[in-house]
Every structure is written in structure tokens, then in C-alpha cells.
Structure 1
């Protein structure tokens, strides 16, 4: 402190009293400090106001943050739910796709099999107009014998046979075929589509499907047994010319010791195959050889046994291909495997579809396959 500063002067009762300034601050300096203090107070007010604004902004931001966190939690829950639904839906679609792919593969195999059979049946046409095909077992039925004596003086015998192939069908694993006595029962079950069957206290939803059989073949087999010609085989090999062998065969059959034979018109002999065809002049001369399987042949002092058979001419007529359809038969798919044997499961299926309460009826035949595959054959109804 500067003690030499001039003293302050106070006027009281008409006289002047001087009070010394302990800080030695002038009036101007005081004014300046007051102005500066005022500025700082203003700055403090501004700072307080700014602080209040910041606090308000912070509160608003906290509220928005809480709201955003709630929305995020909702979105997360929704996303998880959608993900779970998507997984479940994908699994369901994958199972359905797997079933469809299995059925599609099975249908493709059946189509390929039908195409192969059709190609075998129709594409192998020989130059002479005959058709070769590997067919299933045939059912042959004698229909009638034609009396053609007036038109054919050779006294030939003409027989006609009706021939129909059995149509095979491939029965796959866990499938069954049911043939009903009444066609309406089968068609009614096919329209229903699905059936619930109780297999050893296990409920199985099986599907009833119609099906198409493979190509079938029908034709008439015309057999003509000659009344003038016979076939001879197992002709002995002799060191003589072919002309001599023909002459010996002609002389041997000119008059048969068994009461048949007669004048020979011609002898067609093949040395390599050791076979011959004997043609007689008299119609009906060959009839006596129909039941003769071995015939004596005398040559050079020895007796040989020739095989004799009727000479036949066979040809086909009314050959036709047809698509087999079984209106009384249904195909069951989706039969679940059980611990019971195949025969027991087959019996349970038969019992179920025999009941009228299950829209069933009397069953003619049933076939169920639990393992592997099997082939069943269908015959044309006559």
C-alpha cells in the first residue's frame, strides 16, 4: 500500500475533513472496475442460461434415447419372430418339396418305363411286316375252327386262337393294389382321395390313386394244319448224294406201314439241317401222321427213326395295341411301415376297405408290398 497517496476530503458542518484511501484507487479506476464487474456478471448470466439450455437438451436427448431403445427392442423382437417363422416355413416348404420331388421322380420313372415299352412295341417293324417285341405271358384261348373244305380242296385244318398279353404293373415299396368286385366302389374311393387307416393302433393317412397300365397286345392266331404235307426231321447222315436221299424218302413214305401215306408229289430235302418236307398228291394223306412222332426209315439194310410232325402255317390277324385300364382296381400310396409282417398289414388294409362304413366293398384281390418291388399282371376281362 502506498501511504503517500493524497487523502480523501469530506465536507461536514461547513468544514472539510480529509479521509485517507487505504487502496489508493482513483474514481476513474473504480468506474472502470464497476464496468468490468458488470460485464462479468452478464457473462455469468449467459453461462447460466447456456447451462440451463444444455441441461434441457440433455434431458430431451435422454428421453429420445429411451424411446429409441424401446423401438430397437421391439424391432429386435419382431426380427427374431420373423426369423423363427421363416425357419419354420422353410422347413415346411423343404418337407413339402421333398415329398413332391419323390413323387416327381416316381412319375418320371413310370413315364420312362412306358416310353421304353412303347418304343419296343411299335418301332421294331421288320421288312416282312411282322413285329417283334418282348411281351409278358400270353393268355391263349381257342375260339373256333374254320370249315374251309369247299374253298381248300387240300383238306387243311384251320384253327383260330384269340391271344391277349397279360399286362404287367410295377408295384413299389409300401404300395398296395386292391381290386373290388364292384367298379363303383373303386371309383368312389378314388374320388375321396385320402383315407385314414388304422394299422395296428397306428393311424396312417394313405392316398388312393388311379393308375395307367402299360401297353397290351391283342391278336388272332390263325393256324393251318396241312392235309397234304408233313415235316420230317432227324434224317440220318449217309454218304449218299442228296438226290438218292430224296428218292429213298419218297419210296419210304409212298406207302406207310401204319396205313397212311400215298403217292408223293414232291420231297423238299435240306441236307445241312437234316430236315425234309414231304408233299402227297392225295388230300388228307397227311392226317394219318398227325399223332405219329417217330416213323421208321429203312435204308441200306438199317432202320432209323425219323421225327414226323404236321406241317403248319401260322400267321397273325387283327393285331392291335391297347392301353390297359382297370376301373375296379385302386392304388394305395403312403402306407407307413410297421413291426407287423407283410401279410398282417395286408389283412388290416383289406378289413378296412371291405367295410361299407369306410366307403368300401367286397374285394376280389389285394397285393401289398412292404419291401422292394414286385410285378403283378392284369388280364383282360372276358
Structure 2
């Protein structure tokens, strides 16, 4: 699990933000992964349709098979494949206005959700991609997908209607990486301030060890509280939910003491090659000095955490540089130490590179 070499901070970032795109007149490629070609996934056939994902060659081939099966069974094809000369794929959502295509059965978020749900569940049951959305990886949790990945987090349950939203459909959490869809999460650090042995200010941070039964990164270190944002739930309410489920932190403590401190964005390709562009909203709780720390003390509840430990600053940095943290959690720790003034332009030669990489845009302009 751990690396044998002491990592620099920028190398910790490299482990997580590890997709680097290049576009030329022949197509789009991930130069960091043997220049694998990637095909943009558009929401619809409209000329101004947003790109919502990126598809690997193996998925492109599977979508061809899906269309062939649909045609043979007299069903509507789900995908429009434009692979020569300008490679892209769209959901068959149809065009709006007088030129609308009659085959527009995916013209609402609920219709898209239903069609993609059937697809993903079939892939799960046939174990087509068992390392991503097979029975052992299935999360039974729906994630929201947005037309603009950097736009508003709206939802039909909140807005009361489906028309005119940034929200375009929702998909099983484990399957999002198959389509290179942007996903969202919340991460929080609970810490206290101390004076270190050398008289300098320091911190201690509550660090959990992930359960060995977790489907991803079992046994790695994590942030105090972290989790995905389910479809239909606001960012902060997702944090409140995770605080209780993972760490037994009561909602009134979270609401009173939590500070929103920013966000991180990175483009991660996992060990199996699947694409996971992610945005994480970051929060802190600084345990107030002189108060009973008991309400701020995390305890495992839902089985996703083996244990929590209040870790000193020096130990935390050793763990980080030894590769013991789940990759995106390492980024949150670096961000925390930058914000607290422990990583600075004077003591870190890669400071600006790190800052820029912690707030990337997935090379979205190249999609």
C-alpha cells in the first residue's frame, strides 16, 4: 500500500491528478496513459450541446454493440455514434424546435436516467465491467450529472420541474467512471491547535483508517469525514449526513462549527484505467480551545471506518509522504496545510504548481 520512497508534495498531487490531455487534428488523447484516445460524450445532437463525459475505446466498442443489439431487437438505439471524421458520441436526445428528430425518447432527465439505469444494471448483472460496476463494486447510490460541471447544483426535487436545469440525469455511482463523468464529494478535517515541542504552533488532525471491506482503497488513511454527494441532496446536507454515518458527529455540532473553506478539482485515472474527474467541496472544524472535545471526537458507525486516531502534525506529514492516504484525501491534507500556513512559497519550491493542480479544470476546454 505505501510507497518505499518519501514523496514530495507535488508527487502526492501527481498520484491523484494523473490525467493529462492533448488534442490535435487527429483527436483527443491522454498523454499520461500511453496516449490512449478518448471520445467526447455529448448530451444531445444540438449544435450547442455540452460535453458531459469522455469515453475510452473499450466503452466506445461496447456502445456499438449496444446499438446493434437494440436494432436487432426492434428497440430505439440509445447512442448516436459519429466516429469519422470528427469523433464524438451523443445520447439520442433529439433536437429542439421545428427540425426536431422524431427519435427523441431521451429528451428529459427522467427518461435519460431510466434508460441509463437499465443499461448499467444489465452491465452489473452480466458482470461486463466487474472491476467498476460489477456486483461487488455496485454502490446503489445515484449521482447527479450536470450539463455544466462547474455550474449550479440544482435538481428536479428542489426546483419542482425538470425543464431548464443544469441537472441532466443521474447515474449509479460506480458506473460514472465508465463514462468519464464529473462527480462531486465533500471532505472535512476536524483538528485542534497545539504548541509543538519546539515551541512552534501546530495541529493534530482526526484521521480514520478505511475499512478493509471498502470497495476502493481498503485500509488506506482518509480525511476525518468524506463522501459523495447523492442526487437530490445539497452539498452541506451531504456533509451533515456523512458526519453522522461515518463518524458519529451530531448534526448540531456540524451546523454550528463547520467552515466552508473551498474546493479541490482533479482528474484521476484509477489503477484499472477508468476516468474519474472529481470536484470535492472542503470543510473544516477547528475544535474550540477550552471546550469539552467529546462531541468533536469521531467514532465509527456505519462500518466504513476501522478506527480514528488524533494524529500529530509531524506524523501526519510522514504518513502523507509515505503514500498511506487515499489519493484525493492526500490532496485535502496538502490543502489544509497550505491554508494553515505550514506549506508556503518560502519552504516549498513547487508551491505554485501545487496550487494550480489542486484547482484544475480537467482540461475541459479540450473535451
TM bin, normalised by shorter chain, reads under 0.3
Name the structure where helix makes up a greater proportion of residues: 1
TM-score (norm 2): 0.16
Question: Which entry has the higher C-alpha Rg, 1 or 2?
Answer: 1
Name the structure where strand makes up a greater proportion of residues: 1
TM-score (norm 1): 0.15
